Amino acid sequence: ITGVLSVITALFSTSLLLKYTLCVVICVCLVYLFFMLFFLDRYIVLSRPTLLWLMNRVEDTADVRRELLRRLLSGKTLTRRDEDDILRFWWESVNEAEALATRQREQDAIRKFVGEDKSE
């Protein structure tokens, strides 16, 4: 409460130095909060439920499963950064499989169309 009252007093104070100092302190606090929220989150150790969820998510994708297994067996503690990397690999693998399936359907449609033209 005292800190809030001090800030309010400083805002309505006529001293420019006090206002500038308060602005600098507020900016430093905001930068610190930004750093804490967006950067340190990546260094938090994965919890057991998160790790189990990640293992279930990638079990059908062989390459991503191997990468997760390699990271688990390396002995280093898995962090949110590792989770982000594994999920990115998984997403790329899923997108690649979908693109391959789409390409195959398009080729089948072309073959079917060309085959129908030959029979006419």
Mind listing the pLDDT tens digit for each residue in 67-109? 999 999 998 899 999 999 999 999 999 999 999 999 999 999 9
The 8-class DSSP code of residue 60 comes to T
The structural domains of the chain, with segments of one domain joined by +, span: 2-38, 44-119
Q: Tokens 């938090």: give the residue.
A: 44
Q: What angle do CA 103, 58, 61 make, to 5 degrees?
A: 40
Task: Report the number of secondary-structure helices (H) and strands (E) in the chain.
Answer: 5, 0
Beta partners for 3?
none
Q: What is the pTM of this model?
A: 0.61
Residue 91: helix, strand or coil by DSSP? helix
Would the pLDDT of 12 be above 60?
yes
Indicate the pLDDT class of residue 25, thresholds 50, 70 and 90.
confident
Residue 79: helix, strand or coil by DSSP? strand
Overall average pLDDT of the 4-19 stretch: 69
Would the pLDDT of 66 be above 90?
yes
